A and B are shown apart, each in its own frame.
Chain A
Amino acid sequence: MYRYDEFDAKFVAERVAQFRRQVQRRLAGELTEDQFRPLRLMNGLYLQLHAYMLRVNVPYGTLSSRQMRTFAHIARTYDRGFGHFTTRQNIQFNWIKLEEAPDIIKELANAEITSIQSSGNCVRNITSDQYAGCAKDELADPRIYCELLRQYSFLHPEFSYLPRKFKIAVTGSPNDRAAVAVHDIGLRMHRNEQGRIGFEVLVGGGLGRTPYIGQTIRKWLAPEDLLSYVEAILRVYNMQGRRDNLHKARIKIIVNQMGIDKYRELVDQEWEATRNGALKVPDAEVERIRSYFAPPAYETLPDMAAELAAARKADRAFDRWVRGNVVEHKVPGYAIVNVSLKAPGRVPGDITADKMDAMADLADRYSFGEIRVSHRQNLVLVDVKQSDLQRLWRELFALELATPNLGLLSDIICCPGLDYCSLANARAIPIAQDISRAFTDLDELQRIGQFTINISGCMNACGHHHVGHIGILGVDKRGEEFFQLTLGGSSDQHASLGDRLGPGLAQTEVPAAIRKIVDTYLVVREHGERFIDTYRRVGIEPFKEAVYGSESQAA
């Protein structure tokens, strides 16, 4: 993992001191709330429905056990004993007091964690593949470039007051687990014709009220040009992005208004003037960062396929968990273990302080002290010996952290919704709870297969509803909550936006509608076909008819 050097440590300490002064000025009445808002937001402090909420970065989803224990401590000391992992590889603490925020930020800084730019109209937490460095299908390690971008983006003097927020995601694998196509900038590492690793650069993706899939602005970018090229994209956006309408201020709007070719032309023009300047990434810096991501001290182990198969055969529950939550590792004898935060009836992404501590202990004992956070609101132990799998599973099971539903229908993405969020129109959490309670039969879940349900409590789409196989959007109609379903969304390397199924449903109608969609899929699917593939083959009609009946199709 990356560790702060003297410069990083000093920078963060200075930021903590600055924030403490700002809070003091606010508490003393020297700053109005209007003046204070952008300052606190750029330190991740929101004012929500009931209290302040602090959003903390987990840079590109990597956490040490020590950092996880710090989260547990924050949750216990300053909050109500739990935290919420989000779709942006952040953790949110929901019950924060303004007076205590500087102390919290100080404690986080001591563990090399920040909330810098987890909000505000600036470059947000850089996100990535939760399996980075360990996945068998990975081409190159994205974390090095994520870290480079993290440092580059922090308190950028030119880009701290962009037209709107700006999100960057990186994948080093052709199988995109980081949803790069729905980010303001998406970076896909791949080899060019000469065999050199570089980046395909996507721009203008995003969800919210006007969703777009990102478009390729550059097919291949040399790694040493990453910062100068990103700066060119940001500069064009800073100057051209709309400032007159908050809802039209994201880069996706300007890219789609002027067209990708025109945007590319402006970026290239800008980049030509700067690409050989001070932003050229020195090899020495890449190697310095790379050294922090050197593989841990893996043992030379055989792949224990036969033993594992025997253990699975002997224990059906273990077998189900391995099939569902364990992923192949690039190193023989090791495995990637996903820890689902989606037990039936629980709040997706929520975890108690005690379980955070327990996860930290498990990471220390089984996975070189490291924990990953996925944008699908689950945790991962990425370096587990195959020979430890059964023991680890028993411990997770005892902690109620062994729900074997990764990537299955009840592995639901869900934003905090109207239970917490001041922007929300509807409560998202109860919908997730209702659905997960309606689908608890593990055999059935496995029969249904890969399935994503993404729920957002408003059109800002923190729950990524546009890119769920089933998306659920909460809307408010004259004081009543309704839920709008979309089908056919996906955020992987074949990203697509969902299509609207029909009129909004009442909360109580949603689980039954999901059931009807699933039943229809099970009837029309061809062998082994995932829901998304069936949907792309047969279209929306059979599902529309199943949910609304043939007579209401005109609605």
Chain B
Amino acid sequence: MALIKDGKLVADAFVDASGAQTIPATGAVIVSHEQWQAQREPLLARAAPLGIRLRSDQPPDLIAADLRHFALVALEFPKFRDGRAYSYARLLRERYGFAGELRAVGDVLLEQLFFMLRTGFDAFELQSDDPLAAYRTALSDFSVWYQPTGDGRPTAIQLRHARR
């Protein structure tokens, strides 16, 4: 599984412990919401960056008050058809002001990268032979957008009336 962050192929700085029995003592980790609830104090006492992984039935208001503790939020797409995380991403960025890494994990298809970028994701776990090429294609598919989102790309309406 390749990780693309801010348009570059990178090594994953985090260990995903969200499905594990025990959380590693050191290093950056990603935990589940359940682990966060059960082990909040020890997790906060660790010296390394902390990430949290939410399932698609776990809306971000669950962690809204705790966001300052997280360097990363991973939102899960259990099936590509499950589009809840698009709303979650926008809420995290636009409502709760989350500025850390927002990572798309699970069934992440090339055709969805464009939607994910626009809703606030900046990191993607991708299954692809050539993930960077795929990423660039997805990025270049469109240059016109009709909907304003937190990414600030100007919409067709804004461009139409800005030039007058």
> Which residues on A are within 8 Å of B, measured CB to CB?
5, 7-8, 10-11, 14-15, 17-18, 21-22, 35, 38-39, 121, 151-152, 154-163, 235, 238-239, 243, 273, 277-279, 282, 284-285, 288
Contacts and interface: CB of A to CB of B under 8 A. Distances in A.
Nearest to A243: B82
Given A11-B144, A17-B141, 12 more contacts: A8-B156, A11-B146, A38-B111, A154-B146, A155-B142, A158-B115, A160-B86, A161-B112, A235-B87, A273-B95, A278-B155, A284-B164
Interface in B58-101: 59, 80-84, 86-88, 90, 95
A17 B161 CA distance: 27
26 contacts: A7-B144, A7-B156, A7-B160, A8-B144, A10-B144, A14-B141, A15-B142, A17-B141, A38-B81, A39-B111, A121-B81, A121-B83, A154-B146, A157-B86, A157-B114, A157-B117, A158-B119, A159-B86, A161-B83, A161-B86, A238-B83, A238-B84, A239-B84, A278-B148, A278-B155, A288-B161
Given A7-B160, A10-B143, A157 B118 contact: yes
Given A159-B83, A161-B80, A282-B161, A14 B118 contact: no
A239 B154 CA distance: 26
B120 to A, nearest CB: 9
B159 interface: yes
Interface of B: 56, 59, 80-84, 86-88, 90, 95, 109, 111-112, 114-119, 137, 141-144, 146-149, 155-157, 159-161, 164
A285 B161 contact: yes
Contact of B87 (A14, A239, A277): A239
B32 to A, nearest CB: 20
Given A38-B81, A282-B161, A158 B146 contact: no
Nearest to A15: B142
B142 A11 contact: yes
Nearest to B85: A161
Contacts of A10: 143-144
A15 B111 CA distance: 12
Nearest to B90: A158
Contacts of A278: 148, 155
B148 A14 contact: no
A495 B132 CA distance: 53
Given A157-B149, A243-B84, A18 B141 contact: yes
